[in-house]
Amino acid sequence: MSCALEVVNLSLSYDFSEEKTNREKRWIFKDLNFKVNQGDFIMLTGHSGCGKSSLINMINGVIPNLKKADVEGDVYIHGQRVTDSPVKERTKSVGSVFQNPREQIIFDQVADEIVFPMENINETPRRMRDKLASLLQMTGLSGDAKTATLSGGEKQKLMTACTLGMGQKILLLDEPLANMDARSAEELLELLKQLSDDEGYTVVLSEHRKELVLPYADKVYSCVKSDDENVEMTLEIFENAKDYRCGISLLPDRVSRVTAKMTGSAETVFSFENIDYRIGDRVLFEDFSWNLKRGEEWVVLGENGCGKTTLLNLLFGFVRPTAGAIISPYNRKNNRKKIGYVLQNPDYQLFMPRVRDELYLNAKSPEFVEQLIHLFGFEHMLERHPLSLSEGQKRKLGFACILANEPEVLLLDEPTVGLDDEGMEQLLHALTLLNARTGNDRTIVTVSHDKRAIPYLGDQFLILSDCAQYQPISEQFQTVRYSI
């Protein structure tokens, strides 16, 4: 089998201090060597911030062409040395799907976004129409849909479709499943596997939800801690994916599910009474009724774009139903402060000059903040600027800041996206700590697609389906409980 991609003595450093020699520098990777054959399906894994995205960006040329870094070694694509080639040259052979799809969308309409890369590579209108039709069918998106109204998962599907439309035989995907529901993720993985097996596509896919990708992967490249003290990471290669074991480390004694539920007579904190919610022609809720009682922990499930985040926005009061009413003591302005809402993107929530200031802003109890600092390992970064942290650390910090306010109602929107197993365990443990502080009377509503975390995030499930239907399945949650 021919070699699609080869990396020779590849090293990466973000340490730009001129006085240091190469030996003294701090390296993310040092002298990486590997070959990827045509038709291989590689799962790239490792903890948050270990350098998976950097490795992908070194292959497609984003590093060092668009993002500054100290890079040594060589990259070969189909036997050609491309080390000095710009991104546009490498793009002819390598397709890339990045994280944060929201930041990459240019056009108003889905169809225009998908055909844009095809226009760039001079495809004929007829071929573009054919490809567009098949990509729309594959993703389940509507060509006329406005990109601004797509959910996070739908945006991710859109950006994947854009890349697939270009038809490069090497695909690099950086956490493409992060916001996708299980069915969409499996559909995408099946498509990638089919492309890899039948048409010789080479797929390198970085992902934290390993249990989802592992059945499709031929090989696993795992970023692990290096023995060299000047080098952070090295790559452990499993030539057969079956030899790799998912290291999900959740322990029931650390992350205990809350069992003593207050039901029956507990106060109703939110009552949705026959609400409708529409965005333009799109119906997200129709005649939807739902009661949420104090102390309940709900996980909201459903396919991308079915209205999960909108449900959280309705709970917080960011949006109002187009018909019907939401009755809640938290509707009063002053009581709204008692609701904590963790957004998907932490960048919006962080603005203080130091991590310490961020954590103590509006914190109720310094002792609890200390506990959170210890739990998330913030001790050594308290004086740092929050925006200088890695994505995973920022996500944890945003979460900790909201928890430090000790809200009575906690709304979590995809809290585990981009978190490795350790980060997820810390997050779940923090929830347990919060609950323990007040005798389990927190009401928590979580939106999540993450099979790793769902069983620990709640014991009542609300499945939103068909964009207007709903199915409360609290009694039968055992039957849909996800198995890890």
Partner 1 sequence: MCKKTRDIHPILSLVCSLLLFVSGLLFVKESWFWAYVVTFLILFLLFRYESQIVNLGPFILIFGIIMGGLTLINGSRHDALYALYRVLALGLAGVLSMSIKPINLVRSLNQLSVPRWVSLGLLIVIRFMQIFREEIRRIRQAIRLRGIRFAATPGLWSRAFFIPLTVRMLSISEGLATSLETRGFSTDSEGSSFEVIRFKRRDLIFSLLFLACLTCYGYLFLRGR
The window from 39-47, 94-102, 225-233, 250-258 that contacts partner 1 (CB under 8 A) reads: 94-102
CA distances from 403 to 26, 89, 360, 412 (A): 34, 47, 11, 11
What stretch of H or E contains 211?
helix 210-213
Tokens for 154, please give them. Answer: 């739908």
Q: Which C-beta is closer to partner 1: that of 1 or that of 106?
A: 106
Total chain residues near partner 1 (CB under 8 A): 64
Q: Which C-beta is closer to partner 1: that of 413 or that of 425?
A: 413
Could you give the count of Cα atoms lying within 13 Å of 373 in the half-sphere of its Cβ?
18
Q: Which C-beta is closer to partner 1: that of 16 or that of 351?
A: 351
Q: Which C-beta is closer to partner 1: that of 59 or that of 427?
A: 59
* Minimal distance, residue 320 CB to partner 1, in Å: 14
* Minimal distance, residue 107 CB to partner 1, in Å: 6
Site for partner 1 in 380-439 (CB under 8 A): 387, 401-402, 405
Q: Which of 27, 216, 298, 341 binds partner 1 (CB under 8 A)?
A: 341
* Minimal distance, residue 397 CB to partner 1, in Å: 13
Q: Evaluate whether 324 touches 288 at the Cβ level (below 8 Å).
A: yes
Rg over alpha carbons for the chain, rounded to the nearest Å, is: 23
* Minimal distance, residue 86 CB to partner 1, in Å: 8
CA distance 375 to 346: 19
Q: Which C-beta is closer to partner 1: that of 112 or that of 186?
A: 112
Q: Which of 81, 337, 364, 374 binds partner 1 (CB under 8 A)?
A: 337
CB 2: neighbour CB atoms within 10 A?
9
Q: Which of 32, 55, 62, 158 binds partner 1 (CB under 8 A)?
A: 62
Pairing of strands 202-206, 282-293: unpaired
* Minimal distance, residue 388 CB to partner 1, in Å: 11
Site for partner 1 in 98-157 (CB under 8 A): 98, 100, 103-104, 106-109, 111-112, 115-125, 128-129, 132-133, 143-144, 148
Q: Which C-beta is closer to partner 1: that of 5 or that of 301?
A: 5
CA distance 455 to 426: 15
Q: Evaluate whether 375 touches 430 at the Cβ level (below 8 Å).
A: yes
Tokens for 457, please give them. Answer: 């995030």
Q: Which of 348, 379, 380, 483 binds partner 1 (CB under 8 A)?
A: 348
Q: Which C-beta is closer to partner 1: that of 96 or that of 328?
A: 96
Can you point out the beta strands (E) in 308-352? 323-327, 339-342
Q: Evaluate whether 376 touches 396 at the Cβ level (below 8 Å).
A: yes
The window from 91-99, 245-253, 321-329, 414-422 that contacts partner 1 (CB under 8 A) reads: 91-99
3-class state of residue 96 by DSSP? strand
Q: Which C-beta is closer to partner 1: that of 54 or that of 163?
A: 163
Pairing of strands 409-413, 443-447: parallel
CA distance 274 to 289: 5
Tokens for 247, please give them. Answer: 């290291």
Q: Which C-beta is closer to partner 1: that of 26 or that of 364?
A: 364
Residue 410 CB contacts under 8 Å (≥ 6 apart), including other chains: 339, 340, 341, 342, 402, 403, 431, 434, 442, 443, 444, 445
| Neighbouring-strand partners of residue 223 | 235
349 binds partner 1 (CB under 8 A): yes
From residue 151 to residue 190, the character string flagging contacts with partner 1 as x (rule: CB under 8 A) and all else as - is --------x--xx--x------------------------
* Minimal distance, residue 111 CB to partner 1, in Å: 5
Q: Which of 14, 316, 360, 477 binds partner 1 (CB under 8 A)?
A: 316
Tokens for 272, please give them. Answer: 């949705």
* Minimal distance, residue 345 CB to partner 1, in Å: 8
The window from 1-9, 271-279, 344-352, 376-384 that contacts partner 1 (CB under 8 A) reads: 344-352
CA distances from 67 to 61, 64, 117, 139, 294 (A): 9, 5, 22, 31, 48
CA distances from 144 to 79, 161, 329 (A): 41, 15, 40
DSSP letter at 146 equals B
How many Å from the N-terminal Cα to the C-terminal Cα in the chain? Answer: 34
Site for partner 1 in 354-383 (CB under 8 A): 361-362
Q: Which C-beta is closer to partner 1: that of 335 or that of 465?
A: 335
* Minimal distance, residue 258 CB to partner 1, in Å: 24
| Neighbouring-strand partners of residue 117 | none
What stretch of H or E contains 220?
strand 219-225
* Contact residues for partner 1, defined by CB under 8 A: 60, 62, 65-67, 87-88, 91-92, 95-96, 98, 100, 103-104, 106-109, 111-112, 115-125, 128-129, 132-133, 143-144, 148, 159, 162-163, 166, 316, 318, 336-337, 339-341, 343, 345, 347-352, 361-362, 387, 401-402, 405
